[in-house]
Amino acid sequence: MRDKRSQRTEEQIQQHNADARVSMQQLREEQSEDTRAERNEVIRLEQRQSRRFTVSRRRTNDQQRQQVHCAFTSDSFLHLVFQYEPDIEYYANSKVVIGALDKECPHCHVLKFKNELPGMYCASGKVQLPEI
């Protein structure tokens, strides 16, 4: 059917559309006012049902999106440490900021991340390891 439609010329398309308009006009003239009103009511009910389904589906999608968002809030990351999923790209979340190893411990001169506590590796200079 799709192939037939794609192979039609512009004149054939125009003729088909004109024929469809004429047949629709004849159908409307043959129908009584009551029949037309019933048909319109059926169409309205179908549209309402379709809208309800669409709204329901959107609500479901929004709820799922909120659940995923809640899973990526900063508080929940503390719990996710023990439930790590390798398929989830945690680094892509805006709440996850790891940064670079660009801070230096004042005691042992080890490079560390921005928010790591000072002296975390050397107990603030109390532990000294021999150089390798």
Question: Is-above-0.85 flag for pTM?
Answer: no
Whether residues 21 and 78 fall in one domain = yes
Which structural domain range is residue 13 located in?
2-89
Measuring CA to CA, which residue among 95, 47, 55 is closest to residue 75? 95
Measuring CA to CA, which residue among 73, 110, 111 is closest to residue 93? 73
The pLDDT tens digits of the residues spanning 107-127 come to 888 888 877 777 777 888 888
Number of domains comprising the chain: 2
Using CB atoms within 10 Å of the CB of residue 116, give its burial: 0 to 12 exposed, 13 to 18 middle, 19+ buried. middle
Whether residues 74 and 122 fall in one domain = no
Whether residues 46 and 77 fall in one domain = yes
As a whole number, mean pLDDT of residues 93-102 equals: 74
pLDDT score for 64: 80
Measuring CA to CA, which residue among 92, 90, 87 is closest to residue 78? 90
In 1-132, the DSSP E strands lie at 103-104, 111-112
Q: How far is CA 76 from the centre of its chain?
A: 20
Whether residues 102 and 81 fall in one domain = no
